Structure 1
Amino acid sequence: MSSQATIPAIQGSVTINSSIDDAFRVFTESFGSWWPAAYHIGKSDMVDAVIEPRQGGRWYEKGQDGTECDWGRVLLWEPPNHLVITWQINGMWQFDPDPEHASEVDIQFTAEGPEVTRVDVEHRHFERLVAAQGVHEGLRNGGGWKALLDAYSALANKE
């Protein structure tokens, strides 16, 4: 058992005016279209962010200079209902390749009607990250998951 105290999960939710299939597709296939380009860890400006569509797939950014910078891995891929990815970015905003140091982002899609989908995000296990408090504070305040879900919702509601 870890001697480090548990850091509370960060949760967010948004309702999208589209089918569950479309909501999942926009979240995953168009990830780089709604993820803010300023939210990157590579040395070069980010031109895209990608979630590979399979369990074990990568979650990463592509830089303007052609480099790729990992953010994590896909733990669970169950379209159109459920996606879990690791967040392997430590408190110094650097990729940590050790999966034991990964927090998790759990995204659930729930159809509330034929053209209405609720998307719930829970970012948990921050205590696993090296220097976790910096990441937790950065996501809880300022931009965080609320801003990310707002950006996602703006794109998903257009499609």
Structure 2
Amino acid sequence: MSTEIKVHRSVNVPLAPERAFALFTARMTEFWPREHSIGSSPLDRVVVEPHVGGRWYERGTDGSECDWGRVGEWQPPHRVVLLWQLGADWKFNPELETEVEVIFTEAASGGTLVELRHRHLERYGDQAQTMYAVFDSPGGWTGTLTAFAEAAA
């Protein structure tokens, strides 16, 4: 049995949980780093279909779509689990499934603590440590959550 490999990041935002959840799920285009696009044309939108089993994908400026994964759990406004299905080659792999769990907790200040855990990176096999380093880097989830916090301000 292998040990779970995960990246854990958190950020406080000045929004109520409902608004933070909506920004993260319905308005991901507003903060997702454009350089993280993997489609064949420039990124136009990031789409999270708002239900369990919904698609998580990017749409290019030419209308093409590139799957990233799907929605594993949908519990607005407190929790969403997105199933990341991109291989180490940054291509959709329906056989691979890591979990991006995002929890939205109301803070005493009236804002929201947003905690992100990208779990099960060990499922990348030989590439697990490489992918951990990518997701753990300043340009990985840290940068994405920083952009999220800026969009929430």
Q: Which interval holds the TM-score relative to the shorter structure?
A: over 0.9
Mapping for residues 9-88 of structure 1, pairs under 5 Å: 9-88=6-85
Quote the Cα distance in structure 1 between the aligned partners of 2:44 and 2:99. Answer: 24
Identity of aligned residues (%): 39
Q: TM-score, normalised by structure 2?
A: 0.93
Quote the Cα distance in structure 1 between the aligned partners of 2:87 and 2:52. Answer: 22
What is the one-letter code of the residue matched to 1:54?
Answer: H
Q: Which moved more, 1:113-122 or 1:12-21?
A: 113-122
Of 65, 79, 97, which aligns to 1:102?
A: 97
Q: CA deviation at 1:156?
A: 1.1
Q: Structure 1: 5+ residue runs without aligned partners?
A: none
Quote the Cα distance in structure 1 between the aligned partners of 2:18 and 2:138. Answer: 30
Structure 1 residue matching 2:36: 3-state secondary structure: coil
Q: CA RMSD in A?
A: 1.5
Q: CA deviation at 1:16?
A: 0.7
Aligned to 2:119: 124
Confirm whether residue 141 of structure 1 aligns to residue 137 of structure 2: yes
Compared CA separation, residues 67 and 134, structure 1 to 2 (3 A) = farther
Q: Structure 2: 5+ residue runs without aligned partners?
A: none
Q: How many residues align?
A: 152
Offset from partner CA, 1:47-84 (integer Å, 9 cap, x none)? 11111111110110001111000000100000000000
What is the one-letter code of the residue matched to 2:118?
Answer: H
